[in-house]
Structure 1
Amino acid sequence: MKNDLYPNVVNITNLPFEQQQFAQDVVQGLTKKQKTLSSKYFYDATGSKLFQKIMDLPDYYLTRAETEIFTYQKEEIISGFCSAQPFNLVDLGAGDATKTKILLRSLLQRQTNFTFVPLDISLDALQELQSNLALELPQLPVVPLAGDYFKALAQLKRESGMRQVIFFLGSNIGNFPFAEIKIFLKKLCQFLQAGDQLVIGFDLKKDPRLIRQAYDDAEGITAAFNFNLLRRINETFTGNFELNNFQHFAEYNPISGEMRSYLISTQDQEVTLQDLDFTLNLQAWEAIHTESSYKFSEAEIQVLAAEADLKTQLIFTDKNHYFADVLFSVG
């Protein structure tokens, strides 16, 4: 009997609570005409480690460009949001916080009164980050939060009366469909108030060949990152996705600025997720969309900010003008 709350999934109540939304998203995505899997489920322990490898790849310019910005312009960035009053520095999708640590060290040297709040959907990544910070920056006050961004921000707003400085780095903003970016920013601002600030990383439009190479590396690590999502579904729901029956494909549209990744079925096949009583039939060369990553012009960034009632304070770019970190104030 199907559960009313999750009508597409059988036996949903038999699953652990933390798996129920995952199950619903998987089944809903795979029953669409254009099949899709949410990229937010890439980041289990294995996926997080694979993404760390991606960030070290020669073709993956995004991390190097943003690291360059933080390394050489850290004092200007910090001066833009630092204040004498205590504040929370909230890092959405913190991961290993490699880039954020550059600013954290400078803030500690300034003896700034702040609390670092790393927020990530992956509990494994948060636990590893907390352990590393305890060794690297033992004097840093850390309050990690796991789970959905908005639920965690609501909790933080209830429990803290401090000013919020929100980091959303690595061009994670580009992982939303473009129309949803506007919705996300407006919703994010509901948890903020006058005096709060945002630092958002935007991957800028550039040579389309550079962009495509960043998402389809010759070493196959990005492909493995995508395949890991199928492996995770297999392990979580007793599935039989055969990874050898798929290939990774990535393409960039320079008009829309959208980089899209797919897993392509190379043959007719039937996949079963036993724990969900769910069967999926795939035709040869049918695609499952796994990720989008939008690239922006500075004019598009300004339009997004204006629609969310954000004021652009400062724009920081790397020497190649590949990437921008933009400081916004609320209201």
Structure 2
Amino acid sequence: MSTHQQRHPQTLTAFARDTLQGLSGIPKKLSSKYFYDEQGDKLFQQIMRMPEYYLTDCELEIFENRKEAILQAIGRRHFQLLELGAGDGMKTKVLLRHFLERGVNFQYQPIDISRNVLLELEESLRSELPDLQVKSLQGDYFKVLHELRGNKAQPKVVLFLGANIGNYTLEEALAFLRSIATELNPGDLLLIGFDLKKDPETILSAYNDPAGITAAFNLNLLHRMNRELGANFDLQGFKHWETYNPLTGEAKSYIVSLKGQYVFIRALNRSFYFDAWEAIDVELSRKYSIPELEHLAEQAGFAVRQHFFDKNNYFVDSLWMVK
């Protein structure tokens, strides 16, 4: 319990508000979306270059080897190409370049909540793909999709890549995908990435690398809270811990308190107590089997058109059509 007068939630930033809600719960929880400050972005770039982190290479391999098959499966020469959470666009550029070379008439519309991300992406696309038509859209995914829904003249192809769907629980994933289907028109397409169930050792190594980069990435969240929220987390008093359940396909990341300790967060004017060995739930990365993802598609209002795999069957980009 706090010995301080708590700040009113309406006066807090979203980060502070989410922290208050997460650390007040049982079990304690923090959102992985706050991993990505400047230092977090740098650490995640390092993670993507680790030999153990197979996800990026697998999806890149799929796009490089199956780009023509993906275009044929889309089956259209004229469409809007929307991407939810475009990031740096490294993998997407493989498809964009191929579509341009094949004379496809399309406009690329990356959607992201971060204006900075979109500006950096636009700059790199102008330099690397000067012939590409780009129209960036800043805002909430569903709000932007809703605004575009009235345009039925051009069919839409939506990209949701990088196994981002795995950061949602099954119930959240279903709600998310149903919302996408609702904001699209029948016949519109979704190309979505899934990390597949595989050797548990392979999965654990991707999130618990021996170099400790993933641990630094997760613990950087406490650094960020110290800097932005005026917290006094002692990082030596916490450790990163990863688990994988091969039955559910859930890889889960935790930050574990090594001792009984209080942490004061100035932005909340409140102290929180952490028991020795108490865990903070910070990230879910769910892995799917093909029957599971096909069932998810069906429940969400999509028909599966085609799967595209890497050579090891570690990853799949699956093309779905709105029913």
Given the alignment of the two structures, is residue 130 of structure 1 paired with residue 127 of structure 2, yes or no? no
Given the alignment of the two structures, is residue 47 of structure 1 paired with residue 44 of structure 2, yes or no? no
The answer to which of 143-152 and 316-325 deviates more is 143-152
For 1:27, the equivalent position in structure 2 comes to 20
- Deviation at 1:12? 4.1
Given the alignment of the two structures, is residue 260 of structure 1 paired with residue 257 of structure 2, yes or no? no
Match of 1:93 among 85, 90, 96: 85
For 1:231, the equivalent position in structure 2 comes to 223
The answer to which of 176-185 and 204-213 deviates more is 176-185
In structure 1, C-alpha distance between the alignment counterparts of 2:119 and 2:303, rounded to whole Å? 34
* Cα pair 2:145 2:184 within 8 Å, conserved: no
SS of residue in 1 equivalent to 2:86: coil
Given the alignment of the two structures, is residue 300 of structure 1 paired with residue 292 of structure 2, yes or no? yes
- Deviation at 1:13? 4.4
C-alpha spacing 1:279/1:249, structure 2 compared with 1 (3 Å):
same
Given the alignment of the two structures, is residue 102 of structure 1 paired with residue 94 of structure 2, yes or no? yes
Given the alignment of the two structures, is residue 163 of structure 1 paired with residue 155 of structure 2, yes or no? yes
SS of residue in 2 equivalent to 1:118: strand
In structure 1, C-alpha distance between the alignment counterparts of 2:6 and 2:100, rounded to whole Å? 49
For 1:5, the equivalent position in structure 2 comes to none
Aligned length: 319
Matches within 5 A, 1:187-266: 187-266=179-258
Match of 1:61 among 54, 59, 71: 54
- Structure 1, residues 242-279: CA drift from partner, whole Å, max 9, x if none? 22221111010011110000111112221122122232
In structure 2, C-alpha distance between the alignment counterparts of 1:25 and 1:234, rounded to whole Å? 15
* Cα pair 1:198 1:327 within 8 Å, conserved: yes
* Cα pair 2:6 2:268 within 8 Å, conserved: yes
- Deviation at 1:101? 0.5
Unaligned runs of 5+ in 2: none
Question: Could you tell me the TM-score, scaled by structure 2's length?
Answer: 0.93
Question: Could you tell me the TM-score, scaled by structure 1's length?
Answer: 0.90
In structure 2, C-alpha distance between the alignment counterparts of 1:149 and 1:24, rounded to whole Å? 21
In structure 2, C-alpha distance between the alignment counterparts of 1:273 and 1:163, rounded to whole Å? 49
C-alpha spacing 1:145/1:228, structure 2 compared with 1 (3 Å):
farther
Letter in 2 for 1:114: F
Tell me the C-alpha RMSD between the 2 structures: 1.9
C-alpha spacing 1:151/1:43, structure 2 compared with 1 (3 Å):
farther
Unaligned runs of 5+ in 1: 1-7
Matches within 5 A, 1:303-322: 303-322=295-314
* Cα pair 1:45 1:124 within 8 Å, conserved: no
C-alpha spacing 1:14/1:284, structure 2 compared with 1 (3 Å):
same
For 1:271, the equivalent position in structure 2 comes to 263
In structure 2, C-alpha distance between the alignment counterparts of 1:90 and 1:219, rounded to whole Å? 36
- Structure 1, residues 124-167: CA drift from partner, whole Å, max 9, x if none? 33332222112111222222233432233234436886322111
For 1:3, the equivalent position in structure 2 comes to none
C-alpha spacing 1:145/1:221, structure 2 compared with 1 (3 Å):
farther
Given the alignment of the two structures, is residue 291 of structure 1 paired with residue 280 of structure 2, yes or no? no
Between the two proteins, what is the percent identity of the paired residues? Answer: 47
SS of residue in 2 equivalent to 1:205: coil
Match of 1:281 among 258, 261, 273: 273
C-alpha spacing 1:125/1:180, structure 2 compared with 1 (3 Å):
same
Given the alignment of the two structures, is residue 153 of structure 1 paired with residue 145 of structure 2, yes or no? yes
In structure 2, C-alpha distance between the alignment counterparts of 1:125 and 1:248, rounded to whole Å? 28
